[in-house]
Structure 1
Amino acid sequence: MVVGLLHRVGLRSDHFHLASLVTITLCVGLWVRAKTVDQAQRGNAERRALFVGLWPPTMWLIGDSLKDYE
């Protein structure tokens, strides 16, 4: 149902696979940046990086679902 809607909107599996790779890069960038902030803000910055780190598998699996649908 959701996969069909995404397909009708024009999104393809390659879009989500690319988004997965971009979010991995974003996660690493946020994690590196967390090491440069002061100690008071470091915990929040590391949690943000971990939160973004949860996105790549989700994006990849949505891409796989769309690939099966195509």
Structure 2
Amino acid sequence: MLVGQVLHRSGVRSTHLQLASLGSVALCIGFWARAKGYDQDERGNAERRALFVGLWPPMFWLMGQSVEAYER
């Protein structure tokens, strides 16, 4: 069974995933901006957290495209 079908049947729509993608971009920018306020010892961990969250938008966007293809 395709991912789009499973997500669509569970109530997730393509708009939800595309908004999650945009929200994770904003979260990444927020984490990165907050990292500037930490001292040098803690900044590396905060920047790694921002980079980790920065990997999410393409995943959410592609999942949204999969659901959108199924919705058509």
The TM-score bracket by the shorter chain reads: over 0.9
State how far apart, in whole Å, the 2-side matches of 1:6 and 1:63 are: 9
State how far apart, in whole Å, the 1-side matches of 2:47 and 2:15 are: 29
Q: TM-score, normalised by structure 1?
A: 0.96
User: How many corresponding residue pairs?
Assistant: 70
RMSD over aligned Cα atoms: 0.6
- In the TM superposition, what are the counterparts of 1:1-70 in structure 2 within 5 Å? 1-70=2-71
Q: TM-score, normalised by structure 2?
A: 0.94
Deviation at 1:2, TM superposition (A): 2.3
Deviation at 1:4, TM superposition (A): 1.0
Aligned-residue sequence identity (percent) comes to 61
State how far apart, in whole Å, the 1-side matches of 2:57 and 2:42 are: 25
Unaligned 5+ runs, structure 1: none
State how far apart, in whole Å, the 2-side matches of 1:59 and 1:2 are: 12
Unaligned 5+ runs, structure 2: none
